[in-house]
Chains A and B, each alone.
Chain A
């Protein structure tokens, strides 16, 4: 608004006042009726009332959510702290506090404010469940997979050179298996081919099992977790009459016993 405008307005106003003062007195008209009161913000109103404000559920495990529900009357403004902010007079809000939190609600009203609080308790989650069990091999599966038979020469029970390497590997495998199966015992079976007499072969199978057991004991396997059984030629692995089959049958075989 520039100066000219102001001057014009002042002029107009003074003319108007002059004119009015110069006017002849007229009979006074009744005043118009009072217009009905218009509510205004700034005018005083009733006090705000918080009918309800609660957290459901009031206790959660960390990571879970709780729902705040409220119902407020006569409020001009409703706010909830802890990051919730201004909310309608009635409503709900999901919250996911990471620690126990008390939410404060402030309801402003013309006639007064109201406050209320709702606490969400956060508990620690239980320790995580064990990792899903790996499919566990049975004792017999472990024995079959990890422990090799060892073979002998005809009428002999000494551990052969090629059997020593196999037995060293067996010793490691058996240690691991015995560790995983604390109540298990390893039965070492001594077997023979069909040619010797059944009676003598009972002694030969016994020797084969025993020398195998002694070897494994020396490799650190407790002797009380090794037992021997001689089958002589009573339980052949194959029944042909040739050297290939006979060699198959001259063996120490390992069986896990729970």
Chain B
């Protein structure tokens, strides 16, 4: 049995993703779970006016740490009954009681107030995060701690203690929780997604109409950006996160529009004279835009200045070509979708349209390529192994063409894009009825549904 190891270094996390290729080249990808540290996060208790928001705080902290995929979550049912809330609650681990003749030594137990209560069996948590929330001068304050349970000395076990202040609201509690979770994850070299945004398409304002929406990375604060009462779709975000391009029927034929996420205003963009101008995406320097246009009678790949001027054709086929995406690391090659060989497949080419290679092997239909921030991998949707229209999310190592399947026939799974941390993906799926947006880890675990209202498609994740 051939066994190849595909080591993927995820940016920032320095996390090895190992793929095992078995005989029929079905590859299993796993985040290196063997070395995962286990953490216990007993609920904070809220004092005074902070109490109503403390559930949100606790849930947000837990989900952020869990979704990172970097930590093992100690089973809550084994938590001791009396977790500490502040430093002074902690007691030094008592010496083990002397074993009687013929018996195992008893583990010390101070029902949660000793670090050994958390580090020992059955919880076996390596780390303990605890604290409390309060209402201080009309502000929501959270006092968060993180301790290493393996260090006997309490002072030495402390990794950090920090006071988080936010408005005394649901939203304030959530933002304090994101900060605390980010500080925990930072201890393990995991970049935080807190503050990152997801843009997407939703029809919740009216059937047959699609608007561009945004939400926080965890699904909170969903709100619309456009209100054309038309079809606005296919969002893309500039590398600095300040410009959003999308395709809209607001003026009749589909055209590209540009929107400033900074000012909330539209930025002029010159469309070519063609029935279709669509699917804009940005070069890594943000100076140019790639898009698909049917100037020639076939949808083809073009590049223009950021304002749409100086368009030039890149691909030259008498076939449908779409979804150009420039390598974010090198800025020198483009992945795109083409029907030049029959059913749609994923190809790559140079910035001048030369050296075209097909990346997918011709099976089924492939679409929606999205570069990993490392510029070496793409996520995409593929019908390989399924009937047409039944898409699943795959990852490919572009150099070796090795692929990993992340979803397995749970409805239509499409439009994967990467989180800024390079470890999460967001995608759309109709597995729960309608089309909804989900996030997951790059190994297919930690799937979380982010939308529920109306139907929602085409998420893009930005810092």
Partners in one complex: yes
Which residues in A have some Cβ–Cβ distance to B below 8 Å?
A: 154-155, 193-200, 202-204, 206-207, 209-210, 227-231, 234-235, 241
Of A155, A198, A203, A234, chain B has the most CB atoms within 10 Å of the CB of: A203
A154 touches B233 (CB 8 A): no
Cβ contacts B439-463/A at 8 Å (1 or 0 each): 0000000000000000001100000
Bound-state CA distance A228–B343 (Å) is: 23
Bound-state CA distance A113–B276 (Å) is: 97
With contacts A195-B389, A210-B294 taken as known, whether A200 is within 8 angstroms of B253 at the C-beta atoms is no
Interface residues of B in 257-310 (CB under 8 A from A): 275-276, 278-279, 292, 294, 297-299
A230 to chain B, nearest CB (A): 5
A155 contacts across to B, CB distance below 8 A: 339, 343-344
Which residues in B have some Cβ–Cβ distance to A below 8 Å?
A: 208, 210, 231, 233-234, 247, 249, 252-254, 275-276, 278-279, 292, 294, 297-299, 320-323, 337, 339, 343-344, 365, 367-368, 381, 388-389, 391, 414, 457-458
Instruction: Tell which of A154, A207, A209, A228 touches B320, judged by Cβ atoms closer than 8 Å.
Output: A207
> Could you write out 23 A-B pairs with CB less than 8 Å apart?
A155-B339, A196-B365, A197-B337, A198-B233, A199-B279, A199-B292, A199-B323, A199-B337, A200-B322, A200-B365, A200-B367, A202-B278, A202-B322, A203-B322, A206-B275, A206-B276, A206-B298, A206-B320, A210-B297, A228-B275, A230-B253, A230-B275, A234-B233
**In the complex, residue of chain A having the shortest beta-carbon distance to the beta carbon of B342:** A155
A204 contacts across to B, CB distance below 8 A: 320, 339
**In the complex, residue of chain B having the shortest beta-carbon distance to the beta carbon of A235:** B208
Instruction: Tell which of A194, A197, A229, A241 touches B275, judged by Cβ atoms closer than 8 Å.
Output: A229
Bound-state CA distance A194–B299 (Å) is: 19
**In the complex, residue of chain A having the shortest beta-carbon distance to the beta carbon of B322:** A199
Of A199, A202, A209, chain B has the most CB atoms within 10 Å of the CB of: A199
B322 contacts across to A, CB distance below 8 A: 197, 199-200, 202-203
**In the complex, residue of chain B having the shortest beta-carbon distance to the beta carbon of A230:** B276
**In the complex, residue of chain B having the shortest beta-carbon distance to the beta carbon of A214:** B297
With contacts A154-B388, A210-B297 taken as known, whether A200 is within 8 angstroms of B275 at the C-beta atoms is no
Other 10 A-B pairs with CB < 8 A, given A203-B322, A234-B210: A155-B343, A196-B365, A197-B323, A197-B367, A197-B391, A197-B414, A198-B457, A209-B275, A227-B253, A230-B294
Instruction: Tell which of B234, B298, B414 touches A203, judged by Cβ atoms closer than 8 Å.
Output: B298
Bound-state CA distance A9–B458 (Å) is: 145
Instruction: Tell which of A194, A200, A228 touches B344, judged by Cβ atoms closer than 8 Å.
Output: A200
Instruction: Tell which of A195, A197, A202 touches B254, judged by Cβ atoms closer than 8 Å.
Output: A202
B231 contacts across to A, CB distance below 8 A: 234-235
B365 contacts across to A, CB distance below 8 A: 196-197, 200
With contacts A155-B339, A197-B365, A228-B275 taken as known, whether A202 is within 8 angstroms of B292 at the C-beta atoms is yes
With contacts A196-B344, A197-B365, A197-B414 taken as known, whether A202 is within 8 angstroms of B252 at the C-beta atoms is no
A210 touches B275 (CB 8 A): yes
Which 4 residue pairs across A and B have the least CB separation, nearest first? A203-B299, A195-B389, A203-B320, A197-B367
Of B253, B381, B457, chain A has the most CB atoms within 10 Å of the CB of: B253
B207 to chain A, nearest CB (A): 11
B388 contacts across to A, CB distance below 8 A: 154, 195-196
B279 contacts across to A, CB distance below 8 A: 199, 202
With contacts A203-B320, A206-B294, A230-B276 taken as known, whether A197 is within 8 angstroms of B344 at the C-beta atoms is yes
A159 to chain B, nearest CB (A): 14
A199 contacts across to B, CB distance below 8 A: 234, 278-279, 292, 322-323, 337, 367-368
B254 contacts across to A, CB distance below 8 A: 202, 229-230
A203 touches B233 (CB 8 A): no
B249 contacts across to A, CB distance below 8 A: 231, 234
